Amino acid sequence: SCSGLKTLDVTHFNTAKVTNISYMFAFCSGLSKLDTSSFDTANITDMSSMFGSCSGLKTLDVTHFNTTKVTNMRSMFSGCFKITALDLFSFDTTKVTDMDSMLPRNLQAFRLSHRTRIEHTAYKELRYTEKWFRASSIGSDFTVEIPAIGGVTALAGVTRGTSPEGIYRAPGFVSLEIDWGNGGLKSTVKIPTGSSYTLPSPAGHANPAGKVFSKLKLTTDAPYTGTPVPNGTIAFAGSDNNWTATLTAEWEALSQPIVTVSTVHTGPGKEPSVDIRTKAIGQTTGDRLHVWSQTSGKDIKAWDATHECAAGDDGTQKWMGIPASQISPAPGSRYELRATLSRIDPVTGNTITTAPDAEAGSISTGVLPYTTVTYSNDGAASGTAPSSSDAYTDTASLKAWFTLPLLNADNGLTRADGVLDGWTRTPGAVAPDHGMGDPDDRTIAVSAATTNTDTAGHTAVTLYPVWRTGLTPDLNTAAITPNLDATISMEGATPPAFRTTGTRPDILRVTNDGQDWNPVSYENGTWRATSRQPVSAGLHTITATVTAPDVWREGRPDATFTTTIIRKTPATSHEALPMTGGNPQHIALWLATALTTTLLLSTATTKLRNQNIKSDTRKQTRKRI
């Protein structure tokens, strides 16, 4: 055995007359190289097992062999495990009758001429039996022709045929795993090295939720050229090695649109409305923005709108003047707005829609700015204050508009000494605030201030009632004056709260002992009333009744307030007496006085008439002269 040989020089061998070189180098497993270029093989007929089990040889040059007379090539290269390529172009196998197990186990490339026919028995030990290709070279830099010839049987069908010439390879393969990154099943394809491969497209595959296709990423140590794009071509360099590669689809999440309530509009007699603003980043022409309100309930129409993005859009979209009732059922109620962005993936053809996400800003919840007015019962003796009310706050003016309520006719606030005069934000104020004292114009604007507005935009305001009290006059200080006709008059200061003007002024009614007086007159802050009947001197019950319109109460009824005193009334300058009955002396005195007065008036009248006659006579005399 020559297994111990490390080197062997046979370059000086003369083999011109040799006919049998079978087993010549068999089992020389220690040899790593062998030069047989000087061999003359023209007369050799048997080359069986010539290099059998030369397991150390990596390459072997037999391009100079003349095999025209060879009939036996059985196991010629069998056991040469490190030889992966053979150039048999010079071989003429026309006379070979035995090729059994001729080729080495790990052969991956060989070259044949038109005279080199290889029978299927020669491939018995071949390890690579799956795919054989025609190739451009048996060297390391090669390409292969697609499609493959096929397995060993198909290969033998070619190499034993009439046109066996060519280079044949069983190249290395790239095992390419394709991962679409959408949670679906992965797939694997085997690509021969030295070949081109058209990458698949994600078209027809499902997109991951909310994402559009971005790019293909090829990860491998196998050398290749080309750019990994859908339907693009890459070429793996020729190699006898096997490689692994991963083709991964990468996806880009659609940007979540941000939705916010930008402005709240409200005003007197105006339906509250809101402006909604959305902001999308990375939108493209044709993207569809969908915004809607989750508000729902009886008689509530939830708002829903879409916008198709066009060239030039900056990603900001506004919806103006949306009725607040479509966003929030009532002041103080929470609203919920949602926004999505949809895009047709140009690669997969699928329509992708983002899923609303609170953290991303595509779900907006909150409470629209609003103001609550609470009504105090301050100063009322009984009754119930009006219920509190809410109204949206205008974000530009920071005001909310309310209609002041009327007191309930049955159980509203009541005070024994007055009527409601309006409302104020200042406890203890003596007059209503501006705009809060006219029951015929009860629309008011309440301003939101930092002192009474919380971080959520809720303003709390308390209104206090202002009462109009002290309506009855002070009869104790009123002056009483006797009249010649035995009636009496009273006058005094008109109470400051008493109103003598307007469509429904207050009315003061005076009586004595139940008898009505003449209507009261008012002038310069003084009221004056005269009895209809003579009033004798002495103690009398005098009553003042004030009727004041309760204009801040439902139905606007009249409210009455009464004050009564007992006062001594003086006599007239001539004691008031009845015309019949009584003291005769008093009657005579009264008649004498009346007669004297009449005579004096008659004398004065006659004297005046005489003076006028004399004056007229003098005027006529001058005229005649």
User: Residue 623 in 3-state DSSP?
Assistant: helix
Counting the structural domains of the chain, the total is 6
Nearest to 471 by CA among 508, 501, 420: 508
Nearest to 122 by CA among 162, 173, 86, 147: 86
Asked whether residue 119 is domain-assigned, the answer is: yes
More confident site: 87 or 325: 87
State which H helix or E strand residue 390 sits in. Answer: strand 389-392
- In this prediction, residue 300 has a pLDDT band, given cuts at 50, 70 and 90, of low
Handedness of CA 81, 86, 90, 94 (dihedral sign): positive
Q: Are residues 438 and 332 in the same domain?
A: no
Q: Are residues 387 and 361 in the same domain?
A: no
Q: What is the pLDDT of residue 598?
A: 57
User: pTM, whole model, 2 decimals?
Assistant: 0.67
Q: Are residues 14 and 91 in the same domain?
A: yes
Q: Are residues 453 and 542 in the same domain?
A: no
Write out pLDDT tens, residues 475-498: 999 999 999 999 999 999 999 999
**DSSP letters for 420-472:** EEEEESSTT-SSPPTTSS-TT--EEEEE--TTSB-TTSEEEEEEEEEEEE--S
CATH code at position 294: 2.60.40
Mention every residue, 6+ apart, whose C-beta is less than 8 A from residue 178.
186, 187, 188, 189, 200, 247
The strand pair at 526-530 and 211-220 is best described as unpaired
Q: What is the pLDDT of residue 569?
A: 84
Q: Are residues 58 and 163 in the same domain?
A: yes
Q: What's the average model confidence in pLDDT over 197-216?
A: 95
Q: Which regions of 478-537 does DSSP assign to beta strands (E)?
A: 479-482, 488-493, 507-512, 515-516, 521-523, 526-530
Q: Are residues 509 and 379 in the same domain?
A: no
Q: What percent of the chain has pLDDT over 70?
A: 90
Q: Are residues 310 and 413 in the same domain?
A: no
Write out pLDDT tens, residues 244-297: 999 999 999 999 999 999 899 999 989 999 999 999 888 889 999 999 998 765
Asked whether residue 577 is domain-assigned, the answer is: no
Asked whether residue 405 is domain-assigned, the answer is: yes
Q: What is the pLDDT of residue 612?
A: 53
CA distance 469 to 506: 12
Percent helix, strand and coil across the chain, each to the nearest 5: 10, 35, 55
Q: What's the average model confidence in pLDDT over 199-205?
A: 94
Last residue of a domain, one of 306, 341, 367: 367
Residue 397 domain boundaries: 370-469
Write out pLDDT tens, residues 29-58: 999 999 999 999 999 999 999 999 999 999
Q: Are residues 450 and 306 in the same domain?
A: no
Q: What is the pLDDT of residue 622?
A: 43
Q: Are residues 59 and 165 in the same domain?
A: yes
What's the chain's Rg over C-alpha atoms? Answer: 62
Asked whether residue 236 is domain-assigned, the answer is: yes
Q: What's the average model confidence in pLDDT over 584-611?
A: 53
Q: Are residues 215 and 296 in the same domain?
A: no
Largest Cα separation within the chain, whole Å, is 205
Asked whether residue 625 is domain-assigned, the answer is: no
Q: Are residues 263 and 354 in the same domain?
A: yes
Last residue of a domain, one of 237, 253, 269: 253
Q: What's the average model confidence in pLDDT over 512-536?
A: 95
Q: Are residues 103 and 1 in the same domain?
A: yes
Asked whether residue 325 is domain-assigned, the answer is: yes
Asked whether residue 578 is domain-assigned, the answer is: no
More confident site: 175 or 574: 175
CA distance 378 to 309: 58
Last residue of a domain, one of 436, 469, 502: 469
Asked whether residue 351 is domain-assigned, the answer is: yes
The strand pair at 334-344 and 288-293 is best described as antiparallel
